[in-house]
Amino acid sequence: MSDGLSGLPLYVAPKARSLLEPHRLVLMAVFAAIILCAIWFMRWDWLPKYGPRLLYGVWQTLVMLFSTASIGFLLAIPIGLVQVTGPRPLAWLARIFCTVIRGTPLLLQLWLLYYGLGSIFAQYPELRSSVFWPYLRQAWPYGFTALMFSFAAYEGEVMRGAFAGVPRGELEAARAFGMRRFTAFRRIWLPRALHRALPTLAGETVLQLKATPLVATITVIDVYAVISKVRQDTYLTYEPLLLLALIYLCLTAVLVAAFRFLEGRIPTREA
């Protein structure tokens, strides 16, 4: 390796990574100093007062995340399937759904549902007197729907690839064993496709977590909304936002670790 003599050095694989390399210790000391300075010089006296509300906000964010992700994933399975094998009109519908949802900003979809659809709903007296109205008047059903659609569209695209990527021979073998189409789907096609889609699930869930604060713009209370309230009450700019960034960092880290743990428990032959 004649690094620096001429040309680019070739890619050198990093050495066994250890947290205790000397430069890392220095970096960690620097970061610790920055954090201590932030704690010392910035204002954190609002924290005890808003602590319980923050916890509630984190809980709401997690509820929003897992409910929309799980229902969106269930929706993604048929969306992916009809694009691979379904009748033409259904396949086109699914395609258009994915293109539209993935081609426009989530914030716009959210406002379209909440302000647009909400204002149309309000024009129908039948709806206003129905049992659904107490729910339709609130903001969270719209936030839930928008987030769920978004997850379904992105994961639907993944599922389409996963269904299409299951080797044909396995499906033919299922038919040769005399399985009906549905049995073959239930026993072979779906499990194999899910298995192929699993590695993307962690990334998509993290993306979904990062999309949840948008619902605060339509007055749903999540951790972002609580922090906005803190900023309004205390006129502080940075402290609440830094805390919020830290909260999301921790949530992402926990999510990634949990998915890694789960993936480790699912046996794969390829790897």
Q: How far is the CB of 253 from other proteins (least distance, A)?
A: 7
| Site for other proteins contains 32 (CB under 8 A) | no
- Whichever of 27 and 74 has its CB closer to other proteins, that residue is 27
| Site for other proteins contains 11 (CB under 8 A) | yes
Would you tell me how many other CB atoms lie within 10 Å of the CB of residue 119?
A: 9
- Give the 3-state secondary structure of residue 46: coil
| Site for other proteins contains 66 (CB under 8 A) | no
Considering only the stretches 64-72, 77-85, 127-135, 240-248, report the one whose residues sit in contact with other proteins under the rule CB under 8 A: 240-248
Considering only the stretches 64-72, 175-183, 187-195, 235-243, report the one whose residues sit in contact with other proteins under the rule CB under 8 A: 235-243
DSSP H or E segment with residue 23: helix 22-41
Number of residues that bind other proteins (CB under 8 A): 48
- Whichever of 174 and 220 has its CB closer to other proteins, that residue is 220
Quote the CA–CA distance of 117 and 174 in Å, as a whole number.
46
Using CA atoms, how far residue 233 sits from 220, 236, 237, in Å, is 18, 8, 11
Quote the CA–CA distance of 40 and 234 in Å, as a whole number.
18
What per-residue string of b and e applies to 236-245 under the rule 16 or more CB within 10 Å gives b? beebbeebbe
Quote the CA–CA distance of 41 and 106 in Å, as a whole number.
37
| Site for other proteins contains 120 (CB under 8 A) | yes
Instruction: Find the binding residues for other proteins in span 152-211 (CB under 8 A).
Output: 206, 209-211
Instruction: List residues binding other proteins (CB under 8 A).
Output: 6-11, 14, 21, 23-24, 27, 99-100, 102-109, 111-112, 115-120, 206, 209-214, 217, 224, 237-238, 241-242, 244-245, 248-249, 252-253
